[in-house]
Amino acid sequence: MSSYSRLLYIHQNELYHNAHKRVSEDIQAVYKRNKIAVGLPKGVKSRYAISGLPNSYAVIGMMWGDEGKGRIVDNLLEKLLTNPGIKNAYVVRFQGGSNAGHTVYKDRHKIPLHQLPSGILHSRSVNIMDSAMVIHMEDLQTEIIDAEAIVGDLQERLVLSEDAMLSTDLERAEEVFLREKTLGKSKGGTGRGMSQTVAHYIDRQGFIVADLFEKNWKARFSKKYDTYKRDFAAWDHDLATTDVPDFRQTRKQKKPLTRKVGTKKEFLERLHNVRNWFLKRDSKLSKKQRLIQNTFPIHHQIEDFLVSRKASVVFEGAQAVGLHFRLGRRPDVTSTDTTMTGIKDSTAYYTREMIGDGIGVFKATYDSSVGQVKPMTIINLPKDDLLLKVKQKIGDTWKNWNDEDYWREIKKLKSLSVEQKYAAWIREVAKEKGTTTGRYREICYLDLAAMRFNAKMSEVTMLAVTHLDIARKDHAIRVCTHYTDSKGRNSPYQPGQKRQKGLKPHYVDLPGFDGRQVQKAKRFDELPENAKKFLAFIQRQVGLPITIVSTGPNREDVVFISSFLS
């Protein structure tokens, strides 16, 4: 058993360098000799089982975002809250902002989340938006109103750090302005003013949430508007007529919409209204019950509850390691720390050793990506809806299509290769559109070389798989195992377009399986044989145990593997 533990943990770094030497061996072991080892075996403790606080976990995106982290947080919370003695749970969003998008479901109602933590579905959870988040108060107000219409009152279950970085329409206008000023060189953002807000926090020119609730708030924000107006005018730009994302109307109309920053009076009026809404919300609550408060004392309390095993905590990451500002692929990077290191910075409380297992989330049978950079394993597809003419011809009946209906129509597209048709099918049945942007995502082959690097840098200790049901029995699953340079030498993954230039991805084709049978599985042994083997191969190649598998689109479609959480 100790050798298996070494394979899972100590050997993970060796796999980062030498996994290419094991590809044939791993295929033979899994697919020929039926060595199906998935999960954390009994008797093997995780690396942080001793040092970490009981019932503490982090959920981190392993690839390029949109992996299904919110879903895993939701499933993990539900599992934790069944443990004897645990009375409540905490979910701590430690980074990101309105540029991030998680989707969870309540009674078949889709709830797209941006700034709100994914634990809001659980009545016994307290959800914290901590200090390293970038908060746009109007967007947050809209999210709270929409969420409460589905999940009920969130008072006393939602906390916003008064030290969180405050984003306004001024920072969003600045992002638009920089794109024009640099002739398009300032790319990679979502228009939500994330990098500008973080940059001004660092240069001490920005505001935090608490500043909006000071007595002199109007004078300070008025001065800031004047500064922006003057800077814009110097470049012959008019601040008032600059278009910025309108989150509220985008939600109502279900398509991207913008609004003008407006005059100083209009800008301050919007801030005044949202400020009053939050003040009124907190007016009848005690200091410890308010939405906006100092989160540091709460973490003291959480630690006490964890030590006494009366509570659990899940630290929820947004975006992914592949979008980290230093570890990602510029310009498609975010501005806050997407690894487990970000938890320490955001909470000013927890070190890595205090947290139990970090769970890295990835899509099982493919990757997806949105942005300027073309991933190494991309399957090139047109950006538009390839079935638009068919959908327009038959009306809304296409909305009732199942997986096979999509496949039947996509196979008729003569301009696409077999692999492109498969990617187009994935894009449709997996609903691969960004929660925040509404853009079609790029479909890519699963990239194990990148995953090994991201797993190493993020300090996760386990893996969670989503979208295992996005597979076909009649189509192989192509997986990138490693890269080589122009001389045929193995080249471990290194982030950055110039570092990857000229590299060749190497693939293996693994047997497909019936995704519909995956959806029926309630236990690991009920999965199709080739699905179990596929997971076993991934675990051997990455070197971390796969412990959670989502098997379908619904909350209840999940399998916890081996002794995890037992």
> Which residues are known binding-site members for GTP?
65-71, 101-103, 441, 467-469, 550-552
Residue ranges of the annotated binding site are 65-71, 99-103, 190, 204, 319, 334, 435-441, 467-469, 550-552
What are the two backbone dihedrals, phi and then psi, of residue 413, each rounded to the nearest 5 degrees?
A: -75, 105
Alpha helices, H only, 118-212: 137-151, 169-181, 194-202
Residue ranges of the annotated binding site for Mg(2+) are 66, 101
For 556, how many CA atoms within 13 A lie in the half-sphere containing its CB?
5
Judging by DSSP bridges, how do beta strands 504-510 and 477-484 pair with one another?
Answer: antiparallel
The identity of residue 299, as a single letter, is H
Judging by DSSP bridges, how do beta strands 165-167 and 207-208 pair with one another?
Answer: antiparallel
Tokens of 344: 């320490």
Residue ranges of the annotated binding site for substrate are 435-441
Residue ranges of the annotated binding site for IMP are 66-69, 99-102, 190, 204, 319, 334, 439
For residue 29, count other CB atoms closer than 10 A to its CB: 18
What are the two backbone dihedrals, phi and then psi, of residue 201, each rounded to the nearest 5 degrees?
A: -65, -40
Note if 385 is an active site residue. no
Strands (E), 69-209: 88-93, 102-106, 109-113, 125-129, 134-136, 158-161, 165-167, 207-208
| Short-list 391, 554, 358, 387, CA closest to 464 | 358
For 432, how many CA atoms within 13 A lie in the half-sphere containing its CB?
28
Note if 102 is an active site residue. yes
Q: List Cβ neighbours of 236 (8 Å cut-off, separation of 6 or more).
A: none
For residue 187, count other CB atoms closer than 10 A to its CB: 14
Tokens of 189: 């953002």
Alpha helices, H only, 414-496: 418-429, 448-458
The identity of residue 35, as a single letter, is K
Question: Annotated catalytic residue: which of 20, 102, 299, 482?
Answer: 102
Question: Annotated catalytic residue: which of 26, 66, 169, 367?
Answer: 66
Eight-state DSSP code of residue 452: H
Which residue has tokens 């228009």?
191
Sign of CA dihedral 36, 40, 42, 45: positive
Q: Which residues does residue 110 pair with via DSSP β-bridges, in sequence order? A: 105
Distance separating alpha carbons of residues 197 and 172, to the nearest angstrom: 9
The identity of residue 268, as a single letter, is L
Judging by DSSP bridges, how do beta strands 88-93 and 134-136 pair with one another?
Answer: unpaired
Triad 522, 454, 188: Cα angle to 5°: 105
Q: List Cβ neighbours of 49 (8 Å cut-off, separation of 6 or more).
A: 356, 357
Distance separating alpha carbons of residues 475 and 308, to the nearest angstrom: 50
| Short-list 480, 434, 435, CA closest to 453 | 480
Name the residues annotated as catalytic.
66, 102
